[in-house]
Each structure stands twice: as structure tokens, then as C-alpha cells.
Structure 1
Amino acid sequence: MNTVFYTTLESPVGTLLLAGDSQALRMVSFESSKHAEPPQADWKQDKAPFAEVIRQLRAYFRGERKEFDLPLAPEGTEFQLRVWNRLRTIPYGETISYAQLAERIGNPKAVRAVGLANGSNPIPIIIPCHRVIGSDGSLTGFGGGLPTKKMLLELESKQLSLL
């Protein structure tokens, strides 16, 4: 495997840990989360590989970017990758339910598995798992916490700037 680089980004939703190699982003982690991924001992701290990621995230938080155009390399099972790829098709400012997401991947009975895959998304915000809500419209689990999920959805629905 290539050298893994990491850096942090101060954002309106807290400190984000970014990790990836020279080719693609592999992880965005909320440092405040109980599931936060600390940098591994063999990772190298370097902001340079993340210049474009940081530029696009900052534009997103200012309400100036609705889609991300970044090389991504999330690691997961074939099923997880299918779910994560489908998440990327949910338009900015819109939400869908876990049941709708299961239908969109062609497996309507896999609602629980879709929820687990959604919760395992290693690149939140950019792979917009925050756009998936309960079938009753309720906000459900999010690695960055429900207040963060609510903030991201409000940013997108009102197109307000968080910066």
C-alpha cells in the first residue's frame, strides 16, 4: 500500500481528520466522535496532499459547493461500496430514507444492512451519508453526532454559509 498521509481541518462541525495517499482521499473522521480514528503510527502528517480536499470542503461549508469532485478510495465490502456509491447520487439539499436507499441499490429488503453500511462510511460529508434519514423523517445515527447531521442538512436546505 502507498504511504498514508494525514492532516486536520478546523471546520464549523469540529476538527476533521483527513487521511489518504497521494492518489485519493480514504477517510474523513470527526475528532470529537466516540468512533474517531486516530492517526496510525506509520502515517505521515502532511497537508499538501489534501489541498484540493480542504479547498472543496471550505467552499462547501461556505455554501458555495454542492458537489465534490475528488478522487476517493474508501475501503469496504462490495456491498458497502455499492451503498456508498449510491449515496453520492443523492442531490445536495435532498434526503432519502434507508428504505429508499435499499431500493435504489436493488435490494429493498436490506434496510438494516444499508443502515450499517451507511454508518460505516469512511468519508462522511463528501460521501453524503448525512442525507439519509428515518422513514418517518427523523434524524438517525451519524458518526459526527446528530447535532452535526442536523447542521449539515440545514446548511444544504437553506444554503447558508457556516463560515
Structure 2
Amino acid sequence: MEECFIKTPLGIAKIIGDDEGIAAVSVLNSEEKETDIIPTVLEDCVIQLREYFEGARETFDLTLNAQGTDFQKRIWQLLLEIPYGKTESYLQLSKRLGDIKAIRAVANANGKNPLWIIIPCHRVIGSDGSLTGYAGGLHIKQWLLEHESPYKQQSLFNDLA
């Protein structure tokens, strides 16, 4: 497995993968140094993540190699179907899975997602519209949802310069 570290607006991201695909992307709470030379197998991922943060990419076109149980992989596949700029509740996700009683298992699988942003677990919210659990922290989840929102917040003071 190869790895690299890149700077993002949310901190340093760690990317792990090999010829089989991207295995993990996570944001770190450390001051890891950005990688000088990106391994060839990770170049597309780095480019696409940078495009995402620049607002030039809404979907990822990468070979993924996330490790998990069959159930987790089914949930992660459902997450990939949530469109950019949209959200879905854990209950809606359970209904799409075909088992409304699986809501806790769905939430647990969502939390085990190893591919931050690429598998958009940040797009899953509570049934009441609240931001609920996110491994990277709710402030990061909120940032990502605002970044993807078609309705960008504007400051009341933009015109007062």
C-alpha cells in the first residue's frame, strides 16, 4: 500500500491505496507534512480531491478498494448514490436498503466508511434534519454540506467595503 498526505481546507488528508484502488482517505488532527512526491497510484485521487475542494468536481471517478463487511459495502454503495448537494436521512437509507429496522446498523456502517468525502457519508443526516455523528466532527460535516450546497451563504457585509 502506498500513502500520501495532502493539504485540504479541512486539514491534512491521508490517502492510502495501491493498484487495486483507493483503500482509505481520512482527515487527520495532526500536523503531518504534505507529501512532496505523490505515488503514481494515488495521483488521480489527489487531483480529484483538489478539484472537489476547488468546486470543480461533484463526483469521483476512482477505483475504490474499501475493506469492510458485505453489509458495510452495501451501505457504502447506497451512499455513493446520494447526489452532490443533497442529503438523506438514516431512515431513508434504511428504507432504500429494504429494512427499516436496520437503522442502527446502517448508521454504524456509515460511521465505518474509510473513504472520507469520496463515499459521501457526510450527506447522511438525522430524520429531523439535524447533523448527527460524523467521525471527523460535526464542524467538518457542516463545512462539507455547505461546500456542496447550491445556495452559498453570503455575508451581509459584502457590499460595505
TM-score range, shorter chain: 0.7 to 0.9
Structure 1, unmatched stretches of 5+, are 39-44
Q: Which structure carries more relative contact order (alpha carbon 8 Å, separation 6+)?
A: 1
What is the root-mean-square deviation in Å for CA atoms of aligned residues? 1.7
Partner residue, 1:42: none
SS at 1:109's partner residue?
Answer: helix
Q: Which amino acid aligns with 2:13?
A: L
Q: What is the letter of the counterpart of residue 130 of structure 1? A: H
CA distance in structure 2 between the aligned counterparts of 1:49 and 1:87, rounded to whole angstroms: 24
Change (3 A) 1:114 1:62: same
Pick from 44, 47, 57: which aligns with 1:65? Answer: 57
| Shift >4 Å, 4+ stretches | none
Deviation at 1:52, TM superposition (A): 0.6
Q: Which amino acid aligns with 2:9?
A: P
**1:151 aligned residue:** 143
CA distance in 2: counterparts of 1:128 and 1:88, whole angstroms: 6
For residues 146 and 86 of structure 2, the distance between their equivalents in structure 1, rounded to whole angstroms, comes to 11
Please report the TM-score for the alignment, with normalisation by the length of structure 1: 0.85
Note the C-alpha offset of 1:22: 2.1
Unaligned runs of 5+ in 2: 153-161
d(CA) in 1 for partners of 2:7 and 2:151?
20
1:104 partner letter: R
What is residue 41 of structure 1 aligned with on the other side?
none
Match of 2:22 in 1: 25
- Point out the structure with max Rg over C-alpha: 2
- How far apart are the structure 2 equivalents of 1:115 and 1:137? 15
Question: How many pairs were matched up?
Answer: 147
TM-score (norm 2): 0.86
1:37-91 per-residue CA deviation (whole Å, 9 max, x = no partner) reads x9xxxxxx95322111011011111111110000001111111000000000000
User: Given the alignment of the two structures, is residue 6 of structure 1 paired with residue 3 of structure 2, yes or no?
Assistant: yes
Aligned-residue sequence identity (percent) comes to 49
More helix by share: 2
